[in-house]
Amino acid sequence: MGVSENNAHYGHRLRVYRKIGDIIYDEVFYLTENGNPVTKKREREIRALAKARDRELLEFQEEYLKEESEANPIKFHSDGRIIGLTRQQQSNERTIDIFKLRIRLPNDSISWGSISIDLHGFDSAFSMALERIVDDLNINKRTKIYRQMKNAKSAY
C-alpha cells in the first residue's frame, strides 16, 4: 500500500502499511507532539523516515513474492480453480466449450493454448490441460501441487 497521510482528531500522522506473506506491517509516524504540529524540518525528517521504511518493506515484499513464485509455479483462485486455466464458451457459428491455457513460464514468457471440451470430453480435456501445464513447468506428477491441481477439477 505504501505511505498514506491521515489527519484525524487524535493527530496528524503518516501510516506505512504492507502485507508480506501472512504478516501485516502497520506502522504509524506522528507529525504531532503533545497535540501540537512538529516543525517543518522535523516533519521532513519524519516523512523521510516513513518513506525509507516503506522502501525497506517493499524490498522485503518483492523478495518474498519472488521466492514464493519460484517455490510454487502454480497458484489457485479462492474458489479452487487453477490460475491460468479457465473454462470458456466461444461462439462463432455454434457455441463450443473449451479450456483456455495461459501459463507463465520460468523465463517470464507465456505459453498460450486451448483444448476443446466438446471434442475430447470434460475429463479428457481437463487431463490434457494438466499435462500441458506439467510439461511446460516441469512439475513432477508425484508432488503435492500436482494432486492439488487434479483436485481442482470439481471447481470447473
Rounded Cα–Cα distance for residues 27 and 15 (Å)? 6
pLDDT of 1 higher than 70:
no
Q: 61-94: per-residue pLDDT in tens? A: 999 888 776 666 777 778 888 888 999 988 878 8
Model-level pTM? Answer: 0.54
127 pLDDT band, cuts 50/70/90, is: very high
State mean pLDDT over 95-115.
Answer: 87
Q: How far, in Å, CA of 30 to CA of 46, rounded? A: 8
Say which residue, 95 or 9, is predicted with more confidence: 95
Which tens digit of pLDDT belongs to each residue from 35-48? 888 999 999 999 99
Reported as half-sphere exposure (CB side, CA atoms, 13 A), residue 46 has a value of 21
What pLDDT is recorded for position 83?
A: 84
pLDDT at 115: 92
